[in-house]
Amino acid sequence: MPLLEVNHLKTWYPSGGGWLRPPRYVRAVDDVSFTLERAETLGLVGESGCGKSTLGRTLVRLEKPCGGTFAIDGVDLAKLSGRELRRERSKFQMIFQDPYGSLNPRMTIRQMLDEVIHLHTDLDPAARQRRMVELLEMVGLREVHLLRYPHQFSGGQRQRIGIARALAVNPKLIIADEPVSALDVSVQAQIINLLQDIQRQTDIAYLFIAHDLAVVEHISHRIMVMYLGKIVESGPAKTICSNPAHPYTKALLSAVPTIDSNGKQRIILPGDVPSPLNPPSGCPFHPRCPLAQKRCKDELPQLQPRSQDEAHCSACYFPDRVGTMTASAPSAINARNEPVMA
């Protein structure tokens, strides 16, 4: 049985409506299904505003879903509340994007860690102290740091503290919401390597959310690509990055900088991302897709396995044509020949 199983999950936000107007909804997460195995890292990528963070926050119940189910170890978290939900929270934790805003500036590191450990365990004060020291050493810090405040640390150190706090209750799953996007490149590599080391030691599973495909490819076993609240492609990380089967994934990959481009052309997506308040009919990507046909406008493609690879799924009617996409169309090139990404 998978560690995490998500089925037809929806997180919609009401917007407007009234006596004479029907209610409208921002479809931040719209009918998303996937599984995550133990000790696996599943990468989630997409443009800003596609619903990645909302999905992560929904899975840790910081946002309330309006449909579907998601279960950890067979327990449906969407139906829990109050004491039952608090009891299950030790199975899942979250690492936030902002390593400073997610830490209480008025609390020392010791107070933060002790609060979490005391809430979720029955350890006595001496055992909690030993656990806090163990956590800091696991993320590359020392016992002396327990008495310091968040403002006394660098951004990378603060993110290490956030990781230690997430590990304090021995979770089975960590949702990492763009944990390295606010850090310098050299520090990003250190944090990524740290997360991989922790996974090897503890068999923890990650849902790693990011917009940088190069980072996601490095850390992930599998990758999901999200667009306008829907998963449009999923599969093994190496397969997704070497042989994409959705035009949106192809465009994202073309924007990844490389040392040796070997003549790689950047694919420029025309127009803007449609509003999740009023998504287009059919395929949500068809207004910007250079491969779109009439069928794409009229029918919504489902996430289906490719015939030659059951593990590689794409929500596209023409996956075999994705490899022929180029940046040669006049409508898909801007004056500076740079990728247009929101």
Residue type, position 166, single letter: A
Residue 129 pLDDT = 96
pLDDT digits (tens, 9 = 90+) for 301-325: 999 998 777 899 999 999 989 988 8
Buried/exposed code over 53-68 (b: 16+ C-beta within 10 A; e: otherwise)? bbbbbbbbbebebbeb
Contact between 160 and 110 (Cβ < 8 Å): no
Q: Cα-atom radius of gyration of the chain, to the nearest Å? A: 21
Q: Can you tell me the mean pLDDT for 90-99? A: 90
Place of tokens 């009401």: 14
Closest Cα partner for 35 from 67, 54, 9? 9
Model confidence, pTM = 0.89
Query: In the 8-state DSSP scheme, what is residue 279?
Result: P
pLDDT digits (tens, 9 = 90+) for 97-137: 888 888 999 999 999 999 999 988 899 999 999 999 999 99
CA 134 – CA 324 distance, rounded (Å) = 52
Quote the pLDDT of residue 114: 96
29 strand-pairing partners: 11
The secondary structure of 33-87 as a DSSP string is EEEE-TT-EEEEE--TTSSHHHHHHHHTTSS--SEEEEEETTEEGGG--HHHHHH
Q: Is the pLDDT of residue 263 over 60?
A: no
Residue 213 has a pLDDT of: 87
Residue in 177, 137, 134 with CA at minimum distance from that of residue 44: 177
Q: Residue 264: pLDDT band by 50, 70, 90 thresholds?
A: low
pLDDT confidence of residue 181: 87
Residue type (1 letter), 134: E
Q: Which of 240, 223, 224, 341 is nearest to 288 (CA)?
A: 341
Element (H, E) at 12: strand 4-15
The H or E element containing residue 262 is none
Instruction: Using the predicted structure, report yes or no on whether residue 252 has a pLDDT greater than 70.
Output: yes
Which residues have C-beta within 8 Å of that of residue 289, sequence separation ≥ 6?
247, 248, 283, 296
User: Quick one: what percent of the chain has pLDDT higher than 90?
Assistant: 69
Angstrom distance (rounded) from CA 164 to CA 131? 10
Q: What is the pLDDT, as a whole number, of residue 186?
A: 87
Please compute the mean of the pLDDT values over residues 62-67 and round it to a whole number. Answer: 93
The torsion angles phi and psi of 33, rounded to 5 degrees, stand at -135, 135
pLDDT value for 340: 36
> What's the CATH fold of domain 38-59+84-220?
Rossmann fold (3.40.50)
Identify the pLDDT of residue 262.
59
Mean pLDDT of the region 60-64: 93
What residues does each domain of the chain span?
A: 38-59+84-220, 226-332
Q: What average pLDDT does the chain have?
A: 89
pLDDT at 59: 96
Asked if pLDDT for residue 207 goes beyond 90, the answer is: yes
SS3 content of the chain, % helix, strand, coil (to 5): 35, 20, 40
Mean pLDDT check: name the lowest of 152-161, 224-233, 333-342: 333-342
Instruction: Give 79's pLDDT tier (boundaries 50, 70, 90).
Output: confident
pLDDT exceeds cutoff 80 at 142? yes
pLDDT number for residue 57 = 95
